[in-house]
């Protein structure tokens, strides 16, 4: 894992559809804040799945090896969540002829993306077109890096943001160097870097678990992209902090 690999959250261009889908799935996604504040705005809601739900995970046909590799990686989260997974393979013609979501999470293996990938966040996976994947895995399934990619992207699909964007992370980014690096290595625009790398604003009324540098949802941070001496190696395994967060979200 010498070369950093980066994923991005696939955003929903329709925030109202994102909000309505989230609260229809789980009412607490729009839970009222403390202090008498009204329900969260469209831009502030969480996107967690209903407790006890069986998520149908559709893997676009690649081959049986990639299917098992996706399944094995995703199942690393299973001991820590009150959810079930049902993995299915469906012929692409059937997918494109359906007007319904045949998978809550729809996975496409795209090794030509050279190690990058992305996923919609939680219930955003069932917004937009039912014909398009909600998760892209841009790593060859036979790579030793593939399992980490699956674990990370399924963290997003279950509703987790990037941990390096935690409001308490305090990473001293050299922003201009970061923009240049992510453009060169991952093809990220400045807007994508802003959305996937730099800190997220703390939202009043939302519960946060403590910042976890060991999280599998944390990017590798190169020292040359920060001011001073700050770096973080790649975390390839689910951390204790990740487990605590998932058990809080899906008790």
Q: For the chain, give the mean pLDDT.
A: 87
More confident residue, 175 or 92: 175
Domain assignment present for 47 = yes
Whether pLDDT at 1 is above 70: no
The predicted structure's pLDDT at residue 53: 97
Confidence category of residue 37, pLDDT binned at 50, 70, 90: very low
Confidence category of residue 87, pLDDT binned at 50, 70, 90: very high
The predicted structure's pLDDT at residue 206: 66
Q: Which pair of structure tokens corresponds to residue 65?
A: 């090896």
The predicted structure's pLDDT at residue 33: 54
The predicted structure's pLDDT at residue 173: 98
* 238/164 Cα distance (integer angstroms): 15
In the chain, count H helices and then E strands. 7, 6
CB contact at 8 A, 189 and 141: no
CATH number for the domain harbouring residue 48: 3.40.390.10
Three-state DSSP class for residue 221? strand
* 136/113 Cα distance (integer angstroms): 9
Give the range of the structural domain holding residue 30, as residue numbers without chain letter: 7-249
More confident residue, 112 or 50: 50
* 44/31 Cα distance (integer angstroms): 10
Three-state DSSP class for residue 226? strand
Residue 117 phi/psi, 5-degree rounding, is -175, -170
Domain assignment present for 45 = yes
Confidence category of residue 36, pLDDT binned at 50, 70, 90: very low
The predicted structure's pLDDT at residue 238: 97
Three-state DSSP class for residue 89? coil
Whether pLDDT at 58 is above 60: yes
**E-strand spans in 27-182?**
54-59, 84-88, 105-109, 117-119, 135-137
Whether pLDDT at 194 is above 70: yes
Q: For the chain, how far is it from start to end, CA to CA, in angstroms?
A: 33
Residue 35 phi/psi, 5-degree rounding, is 80, 20
Domain assignment present for 236 = yes
CB contact at 8 A, 216 and 160: no
pLDDT tens-digit readout, 224-250:
999 999 999 989 999 999 999 999 999
More confident residue, 139 or 50: 50
Give the H/E segment covering residue 247. Answer: helix 240-249
DSSP state of 200: P
| Total number of domains constituting the chain | 1
* 180/88 Cα distance (integer angstroms): 40
Domain assignment present for 55 = yes
The predicted structure's pLDDT at residue 243: 97
Domain assignment present for 13 = yes
Domain assignment present for 1 = no
């Amino acid at each position: 894992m010498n070369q950093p690999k980066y994923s991005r959250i696939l955003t929903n261009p329709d925030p109202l559809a994102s909000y309505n889908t989230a609260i229809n799935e789980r009412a607490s996604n729009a839970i009222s804040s403390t202090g008498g504040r009204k329900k969260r705005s469209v831009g502030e809601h969480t996107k967690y799945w209903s407790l006890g739900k069986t998520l149908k995970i559709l893997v676009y046909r690649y081959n049986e090896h990639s299917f098992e590799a996706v399944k094995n990686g995703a199942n690393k989260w299973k001991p820590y969540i009150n959810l079930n997974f049902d993995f299915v393979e469906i012929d692409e013609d059937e997918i494109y002829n359906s007007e319904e979501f045949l998978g809550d999470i729809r996975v496409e293996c795209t090794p030509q993306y050279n190690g990058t990938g992305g996923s919609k966040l939680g219930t955003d996976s069932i917004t937009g077109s039912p014909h398009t994947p909600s998760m892209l895995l841009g790593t060859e399934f036979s790579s030793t890096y593939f399992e980490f990619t699956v674990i990370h992207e399924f963290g997003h699909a279950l509703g987790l943001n990037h941990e390096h964007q935690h409001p308490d992370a305090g990473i001293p980014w050299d922003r201009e160097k970061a923009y240049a690096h992510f453009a060169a290595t991952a093809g990220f625009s400045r807007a994508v870097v802003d959305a996937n790398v730099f800190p997220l604003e703390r939202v009043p009324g939302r519960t946060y678990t403590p910042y976890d540098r060991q999280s599998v949802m944390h990017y590798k941070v190169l020292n040359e992209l920060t001011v001073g001496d700050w770096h973080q190696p790649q975390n390839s395994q689910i951390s204790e902090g990740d487990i605590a967060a998932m058990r809080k979200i899906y008790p």
